[in-house]
Structure 1
């Protein structure tokens, strides 16, 4: 299921809770876009302690905002846990300590945050991202705050002042400047080349927290808030926007870039554009990127035909035998042929799905930002890479290789593939970022 834009596995949270020595059993349910944990304890444990325990092993958006301790779980007549009855005894308020608003601006912001985040109550010291906030909610929040306060509130402000108290003070301070899309996560040594981070479609910079936790404190780390997108936005435009921000801070290379999810595709084009300018790209690390099939040059004319526009995946498979990866080249011809046919069938299924969903979205006027980001990536036509790529794939997406095989055709022998533990979401946790740093430590700025 999804909670505030994040895919959540309730069983994974229950397993983590049950690892606490004081907990005998647990059930986690979702209600009104928040997570509630019900526990049967071997010995009493404070909800705050359980929340701190969970934050050591999982992202904040997976930590229940309320924890209810019970003597036993209510049962149905069949002897199964009565989940409906559990929801009926959900706490009316969160178990978090709440700091009350003191000024009129804080009162206004509390009301807006509760409406957008669908969490009540919210205290002025609560962190927007720990409450489950992400870039899509930031857009709603910024619009509502501008309407209520009569002044524009840049999204970047929330990265730097993520609590209501900090935000209200920044709003009251007329000297505060949050107009830049460049977000500082670690100032470090100004004489060292900074590490530029490009977020995914949800605008998450969670991987920056992991980088900051494990990199040298003298290493500057900056995130680049994405360009506001509309129906005309292209991936090249998003990359050009990021380059302008980067070069205002660092006019000349070498550049060190890390991108996550859709941000990996943007990072790839950033590196291409910088290379075209004659700049050095010393590090391009792509974390859990989507699949980008590069159409062979002789077929690019077909992109202009609406009928064939969605057939680029099939064209790639039919014209790039080596796209199947090194492991298939050692197979017998018969096995390679079977593998080829399987991938053609997979591509045809995907193409049909893309056509059907594209037609539905066109008829219904889909404005979902997630869909819009996907549309931008699907209409991007990458060029062959002129520089090495460090590709990080999460375990969940490492098989089947069709999910990332296109990067082999784009980078060929310049591609180095690494596997990170976890899923598409958890592979940017602090523990995974420690592994990433260990694998490419020699490529970071010195």
Structure 2
């Protein structure tokens, strides 16, 4: 009905005050009163939370959003005010949410996620969006869908560099710049985690290690995630780079929309340029004045959200899987 991750945390807190068990993820995976009541009765029993519903209503084909490292897709709930008349789903790391073994290859993970989205939408056109490692997996899903004869009408990539020979992208919790010790210049890099979990302004993070510590301790202490889930979130951060060690992207037959965080890069243009050899069509890049982990905070979404909506509208679900689109 228009709730977001912040209001969801408030619901969880108030339900806990009533002495009832409720996990934040349940509000996304079982987003009705009837389903939540059943889930509370079942307690820790869980179903498949790999594909979660962030918004169920809309007459246009869904937008499927792939998680960054950490494995959670709740951050994408912030797109709901900007994406109109279209369901929004989030894809989450099966290791984090279901306790399955960690993925070791991006192609395998993409294949799993293609199966998940085709249960909801058996045929194209498909609309895919991914942030950081999720951008690489979304691109892999797009090429797999095309290989299966399906149309991919939209591919969005948020602050993701494709792996090059001998190189892999840095994990999501690592900023491109070393944190400064100057208190006047130190940046809070909690990004979307702050809004997602309604963290107090006094809670700051100025390094990747501090982000990890806050995710593990403060968030677990709030009771919004079970302790074992928090541990698997940290696993997802740790293995994300290894999953790309031997991965090389296929060529996507179509165009891509790219969003680049500029505040933590000496050469932001390297992000869209890196995708040119992996996309046959045009690269539409938008610079976002934030750091990598800030791509889903409120200010960044105010830039990214309308651009995604515009691209989805302009695409009009036309077929873009011809390999002869000019660069």
TM-score range, shorter chain: 0.5 to 0.7
Q: 1:439: which partner in 2?
A: 307
By how many angstroms is 1:203 displaced?
Answer: 2.6
SS at match of 1:214: coil
Equivalent positions of 1:254-293 (< 5 A) are 254-293=125-164
Alpha-carbon shift at residue 436 of structure 1 (Å)? 1.9
The answer to whether the Cα contact below 8 Å between 2:82 and 2:306 also exists between their aligned partners in 1 is no
- 3-state SS, counterpart of residue 285 of structure 2: strand
- Residue 382 (structure 1) aligned with residue 249 (structure 2): yes
> 1:115 — aligned with what?
none
Structure 1 residue 171: Cα displacement: 3.6
> Aligned equivalents of 1:197 and 1:430: distance in 2?
17
Secondary structure, counterpart of 1:378 in structure 2: coil
The correspondence for 1:421, drawn from 289, 292, 295, is 289
TM-score (norm 2): 0.60
Q: Cα distance 1:416–1:177, how it changes in 2: closer, same or farther (>3 A)? A: same
Distance 1:180 1:209, change over 3 A: closer
**Aligned position for 1:373:** 240
Residue 204 (structure 1) shift: 3.5
After the TM superposition, which residues 101-120 of structure 1 pair with which residues of structure 2 at under 5 Å, given as runs? 101-102=18-19, 106=20
Structure 2 residue aligned with 1:233: 104
- Deviation per residue, 1:80-134 (Å, 9 max, x gap): xxxxxxxxxxxxxxxx9895354xxx4xx5xxxxxxxxxxxxxx7xx74xxxxxx
- TM-score under structure 1 length normalisation: 0.45
Contact preservation (8 Å) 2:60, 2:87: yes
Distance 1:439 1:231, change over 3 A: closer
Show CA shifts across 1:186-216 (max 9, x none).
1113x42011111111134344222102222
* Alpha-carbon distance in structure 2 between the residues aligned to 1:241 and 1:385: 19
Give the 3-state SS of the residue equivalent to 2:303 in structure 1: helix
1:392 maps to which of 254, 259, 268:
259
| 1:10-63, Cα deviation, whole Å (9 max, x unpaired) | xxxxxxxxxxxxxxxxxxxxxxxxxxxxxxxxxxxxxxxxxxxxxxxxx97xxx
* Contact 2:161–2:275 under 8 Å retained in 1: no
1:68-83 aligned at under 5 Å gives the runs: none
Task: Name the CA distance, whole Å, in 1 between partners of 2:237 and 2:277.
Answer: 27
Contact 1:259 1:286 in 2 (8 A): yes
Partner of 2:86: 219
Which digits, 9 at most, give the CA deviation of each residue in 1:127-167, with x for residues without a partner?
A: 74xxxxxxxxxxxxxxxxxxxxxxxxxxx5363469xxx96
- In 2, distance between residues paired with 1:220 and 1:432? 21
Checking the alignment, whether the CA contact within 8 Å between 2:104 and 2:242 is kept in structure 1 is no
Distance 2:91 2:48 in 1: 12
Q: What's the secondary structure of 1:439's corresponding residue?
A: helix
Deviation at 1:250, TM superposition (A): 0.6
1:406 equivalent to 2:277? Answer no
Give SS of 1:428's match.
coil
TM-superposed CA distance for 1:256, in Å, is 0.5
Contact persistence 1:207–1:433 (CA under 8 A): no
Deviation at 1:368, TM superposition (A): 4.3
Superposed CA offset, 1:322-353 (max 9, x none): xxxxxxxxxxxxxxxxxxxxxxxxxxxxxxxx
Relative contact order (C-alpha < 8 Å, sep 6+): which is higher? Answer: 2
Alpha-carbon separation, structure 1, partners of 2:40 and 2:56: 23
Q: For residue 94 of structure 2, give the secondary structure of its aligned residue in structure 1.
A: coil
* Aligned counterpart for 1:178 among listed residues 47, 65, 70: 47
Say what the alpha-carbon RMSD is for the aligned residues: 3.5
Partner Cα distance (1:196, 1:368) in 2 = 23
d(CA) in 2 for partners of 1:243, 1:232: 15
Cα distance change on mapping 1:171 and 1:373 into 2, 3 Å:
same
Q: Which runs of 5+ in 2 are unaligned?
A: 7-12, 169-233, 317-327
Return the alpha-carbon distance in structure 1 between the equivalents of residues 135 and 294 of structure 2.
16
- On the 8 A contact 2:82/2:305 being kept in 1, the answer is yes
1:37-116 alignment to 2 at 5 Å? 100-102=17-19, 106=20
| Kept after mapping to 2: 8 A contact 1:207/1:430 | no
Rg bigger for which structure?
1
1:192 equivalent to 2:63? Answer no
Q: 1:201·1:262 contact (CA, 8 Å) conserved in 2?
A: yes
Task: Describe the shift of the 1:194–1:183 C-alpha distance in structure 2 as closer, same or farther (beyond 3 A).
Answer: same
Aligned residue in 2 for 1:245: 116
Shift of 1:268: 0.6
How many Å apart are 1:379 and its aligned residue? Answer: 2.2
Q: Following TM superposition, by how much is the alpha carbon of 1:396 offset from its aligned partner in structure 2, in angstroms?
A: 2.0
Distance 1:441 1:376, change over 3 A: same
